[in-house]
Amino acid sequence: MSTVDFQTASTGSPWAPLRHRMFSILWAAQLGSTIGVWMQVVGAQWFLVESAHSPALVAWVQTATLIPVLFLALPSGALADSRNRRTILLVSTFASMIFAGALTALAITDELTSTSLLAMLFLLGGANAFMLPAWQAIQPELVPRKELPAASSLNGVIVNLSRAVGPALAGVLVAASGPALVFGINAASFVFVIVALLMWKRPPQKSLGRERMIPALGAGVRYTRFGRIVRRILLRAALFTIPGSALWALLPSVAADRLGLGSSGYGLLLAALGVGALLAVTVQPKIRARHSENRILAAGAIVFAVATVAAATLPVGALMVLLLAGGFAWLSSLAMLNALMQLSLAQWVRGRALSIYSLVFMGTQGVGAFVWGLLANWTSIETALMIASGLLVLTAVSVYWWGLLPNTGKLDFSMVTMELADPDSVYEPEQASSPLHVAVQYFVPEENDAAFVEAMNGLERARRRTGAYEWHLNRRAGSEKQCTYVEEFSIGSWEDYKSQVTARWTAADSGVYQRALDLIEGDPLVRHYYRVV
Q: List the CATH number of the domain containing 516.
A: 3.30.70.100
Same domain, 314 and 237: yes
Question: Is 492 found in the same domain as 359?
Answer: no
Question: Which is nearest to 481 in space by CA: 511, 459, 519, 448?
Answer: 448
Residue at 79 is within a domain: yes
pLDDT in tens, 385-440: 999 999 999 999 999 999 999 888 888 888 887 765 554 455 554 556 678 899 99
pLDDT, the chain, mean:
85
- 317 falls within a domain: yes
442 falls within a domain: yes
Assess whether 220 and 356 both reside in one domain: yes
Backbone φ and ψ of 413, nearest 5°: -105, 20
Q: Is position 3 within any domain?
A: no
**pLDDT given at position 380:** 94
Same domain? 377 vs 439:
no
DSSP state of 114: H
Where a domain ends, among 363, 385, 402? Answer: 402
Q: Are residues 436 and 303 in the same domain?
A: no
Nearest C-alpha neighbor of 418 from the set 446, 391, 403, 440: 440
Same domain, 376 and 438: no
Alpha-carbon dihedral of residues 329, 333, 335, 341, nearest 10 degrees? -170
d(CA 295, CA 390): 18
pLDDT for residue 244: 95
Q: What residue spans of 254-378 are helical by DSSP H?
A: 263-290, 293-313, 316-343, 350-378
pLDDT tens by residue, 208-242: 455 666 677 777 888 888 989 999 999 999 999 99
| Structure confidence at residue 172 (pLDDT) | 83
pTM equals: 0.78
Q: What is the CATH number of the domain that holds 305?
A: 1.20.1250.20
Q: Determine, yes or no, domain membership for 4.
A: no
Q: Which of 402, 421, 444 is the last residue of a domain?
A: 402
What is the spatial distance between Cα 58 and Cα 250, in angstroms, rounded to a whole number?
Answer: 8
22 falls within a domain: yes
Per the structure, the count of domains in the chain is 2
Strand order in the sheet with 469-475: 469-475, 482-491, 436-445, 525-530
Confidence (pLDDT) at 101: 94
CB 137 within 8 A of CB 85: yes
In whole angstroms, what is the distance from residue 325 CA to residue 273 CA? 8
The answer on 380 and 244 residing in a single domain is: yes
Domain assignment of residue 478, given as a range: 429-530
Residue type, 332: S
**Residues 371 and 482 reside in one and the same domain:** no
pLDDT of residue 404: 94
Check residue 450 and give its pLDDT.
Answer: 92
- Give me the residues of the chain with pLDDT under 70, please: 1-14, 52-53, 156, 160, 163, 203-214, 419-433, 478-481, 533
Given 365, 383, 402, the domain boundary residue is: 402
Residue 311 lies in a domain: yes
* 374 plus 496 within the same structural domain: no
Q: Is residue 439 part of a domain?
A: yes
Q: Could you count the other beta carbons within 10 Å of the beta carbon of residue 170?
A: 31
Residue from 382, 314, 78 nearest 219 by CA: 78
pLDDT of residue 239: 96
Environment class of residue 415 by beta-carbon count within 10 Å: exposed (0-12), middle (13-18) or buried (19+)? middle
- What local confidence, expressed as pLDDT, does residue 348 receive? 80
Clarify whether residues 364 and 437 are in a common domain.
Answer: no
Residues 94, 232 within the same domain: yes
Does 324 share its domain with 448?
no
